[in-house]
C-alpha cells in the first residue's frame, strides 16, 4: 500500500473494497463474497461499501488459527 492509504488506515477512517482487498492480500471478488456472506462488518453509505479498520482487525482476530505445540501434535497423530 502507498503511504497515503497507510495513513488513512492509521487514522481509523473508512476504506473501500479495493483498499481492503489490497490490505488483506486477496482479490476484490473475495471481499465481495465476504460481504455477501456477512462474514465481515461493513458500512453501506448510499451505494458505497466501506470498512472500518478496527472491524477488519476484529475479523482477522476471529480468523486466527492457533499453532499446535509439537508435543501435543505428536500425541494426537501417534496415539499409543
CB 9 within 8 A of CB 15: yes
Quick check: 5 pLDDT over 90? Answer: no
Among candidate residues 25, 16, 15, 8, the one with its CA nearest the CA of residue 63: 25
Quick check: 3 pLDDT over 70? Answer: no
Q: How far does Cα 74 stand from its chain's mean position?
A: 31
CB 5 within 8 A of CB 18: no
The pLDDT of residue 11: 56
H or E element, residue 19 = helix 17-24
pLDDT-derived band at 68, boundaries 50, 70, 90: confident
Interval 10-58: pLDDT, tens: 657 899 999 999 999 999 999 999 999 999 999 999 999 999 999 999 9
The pLDDT of residue 63: 93
Amino acid at each position: 500500500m502507498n503511504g497515503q492509504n497507510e495513513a488513512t488506515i492509521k487514522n481509523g477512517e473508512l476504506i473501500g473494497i479495493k483498499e481492503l482487498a489490497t490490505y488483506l492480500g486477496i482479490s476484490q471478488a473475495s471481499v465481495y463474497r465476504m460481504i455477501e456472506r456477512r462474514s465481515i462488518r461493513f458500512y453501506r453509505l448510499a451505494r458505497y461499501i466501506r470498512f472500518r479498520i478496527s472491524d477488519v482487525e476484529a475479523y482477522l482476530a476471529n480468523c486466527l488459527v492457533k499453532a499446535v505445540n509439537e508435543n501435543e501434535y505428536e500425541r494426537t497423530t501417534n496415539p499409543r
